[in-house]
Structure 1
C-alpha cells in the first residue's frame, strides 16, 4: 500500500510527461495529474477526452490553442516565486500547448460530465489565503477552489509551507458522504522543494485496512490519498515546501472532518 501511495519522482514518467498519474494508476475514479516538460520551442497535443483539465505553469510561460481561441499564459519562474495564471481546458476538446522558452506545466484533471467553456484564469484574480499560525502558518493559493473558479468536478490549490512548518494540519479526511459535514474526494499531493529535503507526509487509516503512509518527500514526489486522515505535511527546517493539491469526487464540495486530539490549529 505504501509503495502504491508514494510516487517517487520519475517513477511514473511517460513520454513528455515527468509524471502521469490517472485513475487507472491510482485505483480510483476521477482525479489525474500530469507534469508536462517542454523544451524551448516545444509543443504538445492534448486530447482531453472525458476529463476537464487545468493547465498550470510550474516554471515557464506557454500558449494554448483550444476551441478556436489562443490563451497566453505568462507563467512564472518557479512555484515559490509567485501566483500564476492558468487555463481551463474542457472535456471533449483538442488543445495544442507550445512554449518558446520551454518549461514545466501541471495538468490537473478530473473526469466529469459537463462541458464548460475554455477560459483564462488571470493571476491577479487568484485568492491567496494565510492559514494557521506559528509553526502551522502557510500560504494557500486557491486558484481552483470550489468557491474561486467554476469547474464540473475538479478542485485544485497550491500551498507554500515555510521552513520547519507543518501544513495540512490538524489531520483531516474526506472519504465519507455525510450530509452537510463531509464529502468524498480523491486527492493528489505533488511536491517541490528548493533543497534536498526531505520533507514528510503522513496518511493514516480512518478505517481498518485504509491508506497508511509515512513518506520522506523530495522534490518531484507525489502522494495519493484515496482515503484516510492526511496530514501533517512537514517542511524541512532549511527550505520551504510546495505542494499542488488536486481533488475530485462525485460532487464538487470540499467538506472535511478534522481528527480529534490535535488542538484547535486550523488546517
Structure 2
C-alpha cells in the first residue's frame, strides 16, 4: 500500500554535495523508472555504465560537461536557476558509459529506465526546444518537453520541465496514465521533482485513484520528490509560490496517452 511517506521523498537537509535523492526499480518503488538528484562541487565528476538502462541527465543549475564512451558530447552554458526556462540535458543509451564533469557547483537530475536499443548520445540545448504555454485562466503552466514522445529518441524515457505560476493549477484537470490500454491510455510511472520560488514555499499535490485505496494529499517543498505510481495527480501553486517541476516518465511503451477523470471532462486542459 502506498503511503504519504513512500510517495513524498525529501532530500537529506544536511548534505551540501553528493546524492540527495535516489529511487530505483530494483528497490521495489517502481517497475520502470529510476530517478536520482546529485549536487556536484566544481571539479567533481559523476560517472556510470549503462548496461540495460538508458539515462537522461538534466542540468537543474550550474554548468557541466558530458562525455559518453569517453567521447565529449557537449558542455552547457551556466544555468543560474531552473526558473530561467533555459534547459540543458544529455542522453546516453544502454550499453554505454557516461561521465558528467562539474564546471561550476551544479545540481543535476539523472532519469533512467530499462532499455534494449543502443542509440547515439545527444545533447538538448535551449535553442532545441520551445516553451509551450498550456491551459487558460488559473490553469496555466509553461512546459518544456526535453524528450517528446513523438520523437524516436529513446526506448522508454519521457522527460519534461514545467513552470506553474503562483495561484495556478497544473497536471489539471486530474488525469492518469496507469493502464496499458492504447490507443486510449498508456501506462507510465512518473516522478515530480520540485523547486519552488521562494524556497520557503510549497506546493499542493494529490495522488489518488478511482477505487479510493490510494488517496494521498502532500505539500512538497523545495527539493522534494513526489512519486506517482498510478492514479490522478493534480498540482496547485499557492499564492506567492512559483513552482518548477521536472517530470520523468517511463512504462512498457514510450507513448503518452492520458485519461481525464470523468468528473472533470467539462474543463479545458
Task: Please list, as runs of the form range in 1=range in 2, the aligned pairs for 1:128-207 lying within 5 A after superposition.
Answer: 128-148=131-151, 150-195=153-198, 196-207=200-211
Q: CA deviation at 1:8?
A: 1.9
SS in 2 for 1:30: coil
- Which residue does 1:27 correspond to in 2? 29
Q: State whether residues 143 and 149 of structure 1, in contact with CA within 8 Å, keep that contact through their aligned partners in structure 2.
A: no
Match of 2:101 among 98, 102, 117: 98
Greater Cα offset, 47-56 or 130-139: 47-56
SS in 2 for 1:88: strand
TM-score (norm 1): 0.92
- Which residue does 1:254 correspond to in 2? 256
Q: CA deviation at 1:182?
A: 0.3
* Distance 1:66-1:151 versus aligned 2 partners, 3 A rule: same
* Distance 1:91-1:216 versus aligned 2 partners, 3 A rule: same
- Which residue does 2:54 correspond to in 1? 52
Q: State whether residues 60 and 109 of structure 2, in contact with CA within 8 Å, keep that contact through their aligned partners in structure 1.
A: yes
SS in 1 for 2:76: strand
Deviations 1:90-127 (A, max 9, x none): 11222121112121011111111211111112221113
Structure 2 unaligned spans of 5+: none
Q: CA deviation at 1:199?
A: 1.1
Q: CA deviation at 1:148?
A: 4.8
CA RMSD of aligned residues (A): 1.9
TM-score (norm 2): 0.92
Q: State whether residues 192 and 225 of structure 2, in contact with CA within 8 Å, keep that contact through their aligned partners in structure 1.
A: yes
Q: CA deviation at 1:149?
A: 6.3
SS in 2 for 1:124: helix
Cα distance in structure 2, aligned partners of 1:266 and 1:18: 37
Deviations 1:56-105 (A, max 9, x none): 11001111121232121225111001222211111122212111212101
Match of 1:88 among 80, 87, 91: 91
Greater Cα offset, 41-50 or 124-133: 41-50
SS in 1 for 2:5: helix
SS in 2 for 1:18: strand
- Which residue does 2:44 correspond to in 1? 42
Count how many residue pairs are aligned between Structure 1 and Structure 2: 264
Q: State whether residues 207 and 228 of structure 1, in contact with CA within 8 Å, keep that contact through their aligned partners in structure 2.
A: no
* Distance 1:125-1:264 versus aligned 2 partners, 3 A rule: farther
SS in 2 for 1:77: coil
Q: Indicate yes or no: 2:193 matched with 1:217.
A: no
- Which residue does 2:111 correspond to in 1? 108
* Distance 1:21-1:186 versus aligned 2 partners, 3 A rule: same
